[in-house]
Structure 1
Amino acid sequence: MRNSVEIRNLIEAITSAELYEGDYGDCISNVDAILNDVVDTDRKGVPSDYLEFLADFGFGELDAAFYVEDGPVKYSSISHGEVNGYEGMYVFAGNSSDVLYAFDSKNGWAVVEISSEAGGFEVLSVDFSSFMLDKLKYVKGLVDWRADN
């Protein structure tokens, strides 16, 4: 996985912060368990760096601003039915409000943000490693801000 040293340092800084209240860090490497909710025909496209991340860094709540699931779940399972335009979406993370992060299996497994407030989705990154590095930097910034205030 690209940027693994920086990602590890960011996760350690977040989880060792004085005000940390999450439950992050359980690792999972069983690919069949991780991909339990992924349609068989889509499994070959799941980003390998995502699977490496779960095995090496884990899942759980890093902060109220970001949690990582132990495997992707079809958006239709969360929305209780297919939604036009979201057929290939697999949710793998989110925050404590109304934002979900998903892979778009119909668009090269790009990472998208789904927001009920915005009423749609937006492509954030074409690869998982870049998305995670950016998201962890953001969360670390929030943690630092809280510590200073």
Structure 2
Amino acid sequence: MKNKEELKSLVEAVTSAKSYEGNYGYRITDTSATLSHVDESDRQQAPADYLEFLSEFGFGELDAAFHLDDGPEKYSTVCGREIEGYEGIYVFGGNSSDVLYAFDAKNNWQIVEVSSELDEVDMLASNFSDFILERLRYIKSLVEKRAVV
């Protein structure tokens, strides 16, 4: 996993803030259980940096702007029905509004954003390491802004 020290620093900055109310930091110990909702044919390609992050830094609600689930779930399960074109989408997190973050297993496990308002999938990052670093930087900036108010 890239940028491990910066990731650690960002997680600590957010979780140690006075206004922190999340429940972040539960760590996975069994990657096979973590991937239990991923189709067998897709499991071997699951991003190692994602699994390493869950093992080392954990999952849970980091902020209202971001929560990370304990494993990816098929989009069809989350929304309650099959949607054509979303077959390889596995949701792994989101925010407190209607935005979900997911892997697109059919496109090299890129990170995508799924929003019910947009009714489309937008590519955010080519890998989990880049995505989580950007997300954590953003959340830290939110926490810092709240501290000033």
TM tier, smaller? over 0.9
User: Helix, strand or coil: the match of 1:106?
Assistant: helix
The aligned counterpart of 1:141 is 141
Among all aligned residue pairs of Structure 1 and Structure 2, give the percentage whose two residues are the same amino acid: 55
- How far residue 82 of structure 1 moved from its aligned partner, in angstroms, is 1.1
User: Helix, strand or coil: the match of 1:144?
Assistant: helix
**When the two structures are aligned, how many residues end up with a matched partner?**
149
Does the aligned pair in 2 maintain the 1:59–1:70 contact within 8 Å? yes
Counterparts of residues 69-88 of structure 1 (less than 5 Å): 69-88=69-88
Does the aligned pair in 2 maintain the 1:101–1:114 contact within 8 Å? yes
For residues 85 and 124 of structure 1, the distance between their equivalents in structure 2, rounded to whole angstroms, comes to 18
* Cα RMSD for the two superposed structures: 0.6
The aligned counterpart of 2:9 is 9
Does the aligned pair in 2 maintain the 1:111–1:123 contact within 8 Å? yes
Runs of 4+ in 1 over 4 A off after TM superposition: none
Q: Deviations over 1:75-97 (max 9, x none)?
A: 00011111111110000010011
Name stretches of at least 5 consecutive residues in structure 1 with no aligned partner.
none
Does the aligned pair in 2 maintain the 1:59–1:67 contact within 8 Å? yes
Q: Deviations over 1:71-130 (max 9, x none)?
A: 000000011111111110000010011000000000000000001112211000000000
The aligned counterpart of 2:100 is 100
Counterparts of residues 48-127 of structure 1 (less than 5 Å): 48-127=48-127
The aligned counterpart of 2:18 is 18
